[in-house]
A and B are shown apart, each in its own frame.
Chain A
């Protein structure tokens, strides 16, 4: 009886040890599974809003980036379990990280390619920068809040992103040394599109700006610079909503 008890305890200890050793692997599997679910949600929403976005689905590069970037590593510890929900999250200092669907379509609308160089104004959590870094050659990111810049710098380095250059400062003047850019993402609140940023955009390139309240992006402004340097914009509503009914609506 005594021997049976000792054997039982040993088996229990060995199994516990195996389970403990397997924990990180299990965690990453769980998060990978959640990322896959999040991506499925994004795919579904992109399909629902295909008219608004003027495209049927996300491109493979963006899908691949979303499947890889560990969002849970870039949100506050207390909110990790919500990291892959399709919802905005507070990241401290009154800043939020947009819902994954918005980050996805902002990235998609820029139509980036592997060799591109992209500027991000407003690093925040670093998630958007990480997504961009999975797609393009080099990402330049500027953050104005010192604590956020420091945190994002550490997190992105820990995750092994070597193609993101991050600096603390005023994003209004862009990053003249590294310009022109193939795409610009302005996630920081801006009352207007800074003229220096427009100048730092390559002909044929695009800039994306979300407009809205703290937690809700109400519309996206896609600024486009034509090959002959003419600047225009497109207002995109990231929600499938039929604004009118009946004969004036020309819909439904």
Chain B
């Protein structure tokens, strides 16, 4: 007892929060969170990563619940509890991930094997453990130093901001597994720092931290690596005789694995005609995150070796026009570049090729590592490789092209499902307008998509092209469009002017030669469709004819999948899910019909429902248990705490998620957007949070309304001015755009950092026992918010998400905990 008494005394003597360890731990926690999405995208699929990590973050909310229940125990022993939490956090960072990845689970199997759900639950629980411990450490400090909530929260946010930068830089230099161990070491150092800062001599915690420091040396190598799902392409490829891993490259854009096989070569030619007499040459396989595949083709420079590339639907444009200036987007291993070079190699002059590949490591493989193998295609005369996204490139370079090409997205069977959650600004109406404006009069925009039954990708691309043509003022849109299809792909051509009869004859001849089907050109007779690669009904022809005519809106409204064109405000091209089709999918559950289900969106909804149920449990648990312990079951502050801190959690994340998604367009790549927006938001919100105490003292009751008015004003201004910023700054270099983005974010983020600590300080003054519970409410709401923001953005667009957030901020003012004379911080606020 005397020991406890002295610990209590020690805890109460603390005057200064342990800022350094807090910043370190928060940095590792956020870096770990981002890194987990990478790790799970590699070992599983990114949509599954999104679900498990969203749920794991509920560990944050649960920490508040635990502290609300056992507050005195943790606070009185803060010198032990805080470092112990960080020590356990450090230990759980690698161990929980390694254990979670060893749980065998294929996400799709869950759709018909409900008995496997317990494995999913184990993964959730394991991944939640590190977040629980680190959040418990933060909320212990927030509760103990209630009146300094502003500075504690600021340290947490600034640390997290630094973590978001740290992880992106680390992923450029180290392999994902090494990064995991580096984060483990940093977390262990944070635990040791916590002991030092609190002058604690807790030997078990010190031993735990030291053990974690040397853990990378102790874990056997067979358990320390990534276990990629055997259902991904890379592991399957490696089971084939002769497969050799030639190398790996790491970056935040993905883990690249390079595979060769001299015994059974790769032969990737997805849209090759059934009439083709020769297949592709030897290839080196390039896999991104163990799945997405792009081949590097062997080429000696002989144009005859490229003939196989002409027997594809995507080669149609080369048969109609002799393009001199070509823009190739998403070049990957260079098949499209090879096709262009093959078409001109025996000509009198070389074409000008602008080749866009945003992943410079992939371009580097073709350019350097496998230059001799690939015929040095990326260094040939006229070939210019740029590490840019197409919209960024076109905004910076006012040029006109005879051909702009895009490869098929996703894999055979279509692109939906797995990609549904990812925003894509290359396939929006605004993007298509930009492409059309960059075409010469005789030029073609060529887009290839995978065939699906019922049709999805191809009809959505077609609908997007129709809308874009209307927007640029074309009256007879059907004049400009051609669609053909093979047995596995369809290619859409959009011309800069009306398609001529001679070109239509050329399309017919091309289809005849290679066994492809005509799908659409203006005035095409129905009998010409669906003759060689037959469907039960000519669905592609019927769909395109309807979309090119006055039935456009009606057809889209009636279709069972969402094929409405994506826009910059709702940039989810690969989201095809429609609520009204769900009952039909479910009735097909037992007959393999779930393959039709756009599983990405369904997993998102499943995540939302699970998060809401668990969050409700976490929020209610302290009330139920606490209610039994005390007789203040109906304390009046409870309603306000729930309303205020859940609205704040929802609103903050709504704006953060919306900005991350929106800034992809501004910064042209999700990696830059996530890093800039996260770091910017967290650091500037941290600065705002640090100033909350002074603001509270200076402005008192009016502080919150003033801050919220500022947030609303700035939020509305961004919505109004975003297109202007986008247009104006698109042409600048990336560093300039990042600085501009940070300047734009700074004032809003600064203000958004204030309401949370303001609320905590008010609570600490009146109801200190409610602080951990407020943290639980806020943490749970934040997790729900991140998922809900994506759902809303998919259905209603980003503008709605931001407006909803602003309304929630305004509502916060009405339900805020009352301002008043707060008690000073110290043991007295622990009562």
Contacts and interface: CB of A to CB of B under 8 A. Distances in A.
A224 to B, nearest CB: 9
Contacts of A244: 454, 558-560
B207 interface: no
Interface in B533-552: 533-537, 539, 542, 546, 551
A234 interface: yes
A233 B533 contact: yes
B381 interface: no
A249 interface: yes
Contacts of B272: 191-193
Contacts of B229: 94
Nearest to B412: A211
A12 interface: no
Contacts of A213: 108, 413, 417, 595
Contact of B539 (A45, A145, A243): A243
A189 B233 CA distance: 10
B559 A193 contact: no
A216 B452 contact: no
Contacts of A170: 263-264
B454 A243 contact: yes
Contact of B453 (A86, A214, A235): A235
Interface in A87-142: 87, 90, 92-96, 99, 101-102
B488 A172 contact: no
Interface in B192-214: none
Interface centre among B412, B555, B584, by most chain A C-beta atoms within 10 angstroms, is: B412
Contacts of B590: 86
Contact of B270 (A145, A192, A235): A192
Given A52-B536, A101-B591, A216-B594, A191 B412 contact: yes
A70 to B, nearest CB: 23
B264 A211 contact: no
Contacts of B240: 144-145
Given A144-B240, A244-B559, A248-B555, A233 B532 contact: yes
A241 B592 contact: no
A172 B279 contact: yes
A232 interface: yes
Contact of B534 (A52, A235, A246): A235
B278 A231 contact: no
| Interface of chain B, main secondary structure | loop
A93 B239 contact: yes
A10 B519 CA distance: 80
B475 interface: no
B274 A233 contact: yes
Contacts of B276: 192, 195
A195 B280 CA distance: 10
A198 B274 contact: yes
A96 B113 CA distance: 15
Interface string A188-222: 01011111001000000000000111111111010
Interface string B447-467: 000011111000000000000
A70 B481 CA distance: 53
Nearest to A190: B267
Contacts of B546: 248
B624 interface: no
Contact of B592 (A217, A246, A249): A217
Contact of A218 (B109, B271, B452): B452
B231 A214 contact: yes
A194 B278 CA distance: 8
A93 B236 contact: yes
B576 to A, nearest CB: 12
Interface string B560-593: 1000000000000000000000001000101111
Interface string B99-113: 000000010110011
Nearest to B414: A218
A218 B454 CA distance: 10
B62 interface: no
Interface in A228-251: 231-246, 248-250
Contact of A192 (B267, B533, B536): B267
B453 A234 contact: no
Nearest to A192: B272
Interface range for B: 35 or more
B569 to A, nearest CB: 27
Interface string B201-238: 00000000000000000000000000001111001100
A214 B106 contact: yes
A8 interface: no
B605 interface: no
Contacts of A76: none
Contact of B595 (A52, A101, A212): A212
A16 interface: no
A239 B278 contact: no
B717 interface: no
B106 A215 contact: yes
Given A214-B106, A217-B595, A194 B235 contact: no
A142 B241 CA distance: 13
Contact of B591 (A45, A95, A249): A45
A52 B588 CA distance: 14
Nearest to A251: B537
B385 interface: no
A163 interface: no
Contacts of A17: none
B15 interface: no
A61 interface: no
Contacts of A96: 231
A146 interface: yes
B558 A235 contact: no
B821 interface: no
A216 B414 CA distance: 13
A238 B595 CA distance: 10
B307 to A, nearest CB: 12
Given A172-B267, A241-B584, A248-B542, A219 B453 contact: yes
Given A94-B239, A212-B413, A240 B487 contact: no
Contacts of A236: 536
20 contacts: A93-B239, A145-B239, A147-B239, A168-B241, A189-B236, A212-B595, A213-B417, A216-B595, A217-B595, A218-B414, A218-B452, A223-B274, A233-B532, A233-B533, A235-B451, A240-B588, A242-B584, A243-B453, A245-B560, A246-B558
Closest 6 CB pairs of A and B: A216-B595, A243-B454, A94-B230, A192-B272, A237-B453, A94-B236
Given A212-B595, A237-B536, A243-B453, 19 more contacts: A52-B536, A90-B109, A93-B236, A94-B235, A102-B592, A172-B267, A191-B269, A192-B279, A198-B274, A213-B108, A215-B106, A216-B594, A218-B452, A219-B452, A233-B534, A243-B454, A244-B560, A248-B542, A250-B542
Interface of A: 45, 48-49, 51-52, 54, 86-87, 90, 92-96, 99, 101-102, 144-147, 168, 170, 172, 189, 191-195, 198, 211-219, 221, 223, 231-246, 248-250
